[in-house]
Amino acid sequence: MTEKRDFLTIWDLTKDEIEGLLKRAIELKSGADKNKCPLIGKSIGLFFEKPSTRTRVSFEVGIYQLGGQSIYLNPKEIQLGRGESISDTARVLSRYLNGIILRTYSHSSVEEFASHATVPVINGLSDLHHPCQALADLMTIMEKKGRLKGIRLAYIGDGNNVANSLIEAAAKTGIDLTIACPEGYEPDSDALDRSRTFAKGSAGAGDIIILRNPKEAAGRADVIYTDVWVSMGQEAEAEKKKSKFKNYQINSQLLQCAKKDVIVLHCLPAHRGEEITDEVMDGPNSAVFDQAENRLHTEKALLEFLIR
């Protein structure tokens, strides 16, 4: 019996596996094997503590297109929301389902669930990591730029879960990543340390730099990326964070620091007028909606890879 594989962070995939998934996602997007249904007879659970548009819809549609059945698990409607332990829930759901996608507030909940589940567990988003988003980001860069190695990516804004997964993806694929954020809002130190350690011991690994000046980060960038300043669960900090990040907006002035053919990414939802302007998001350099579409294709490739 094949040992089950989980996808909790980018570290759960090798460089070769990432490249294989991206190649497969591009094939799927082209319509290749559109009648192939590797998930026929399989049921995939989606347990979401947080509201979702892209993650929920892309996974549900992807599971359907691969021939499987998705079952949405609202925490208010299952016993986990009434005090049943994560371990018991994971054990029981593993008897019914062929895989489980979790979108939780705490990454430790994802890890605990996966440690007790006997079927593959996919992190659809946690407070520390958003690896499914990173796969779609890589695919979009590959589509638009034709390569990953040596690409200069500037991430402007909060060092959040998206930034953590980008750091890991950059280290694995040879992207040179510069993050510009205010002091006190740096990415997770463990993600940084592990990625830098990996880069030192791996030929062709990408550089990872943290600095304060967004214009410096955007200089000669091939890709500029941002996310909301205030993530779900941080609403109490909203005014403080908006004040801290007011100079970290992606606007036309910032784009002038980058290469002329720079592409702009945003994992969405966007707070237009805060971290990004309408002019940029709807402009010719924006690949935001291609990026959103690519969630579907990379997740289909991931499901094919994990679900046996």
- For the annotated catalytic residues, the residue numbers are 103, 130, 133, 227, 267, 295
Cβ atoms < 10 Å from Cβ of 202:
13
Q: Packing angle between helix 288-306 and helix 15-30, nearest 10 degrees?
A: 110
Angstrom distance (rounded) from CA 22 to CA 191: 22
Angstrom distance (rounded) from CA 21 to CA 37: 17
Cβ neighbours of residue 180 closer than 8 Å, sequence gap 6 or more = 154, 155, 156, 157, 211, 212, 213, 214, 216, 217, 218, 248
Q: Are 163 and 248 in contact (CB under 8 A)?
A: no
Residues listed for the chain: 308
Cβ neighbours of residue 81 closer than 8 Å, sequence gap 6 or more = 74, 75
**Best CA proximity match to 150, nearest among 44, 222, 65:** 222
> What SS3 state is found at 266?
strand
Longest dimension (CA), the chain: 56
Both structure tokens of 199 = 């880069």
How many alpha carbons lie under 13 Å from residue 1 in its C-beta half-sphere? Answer: 5
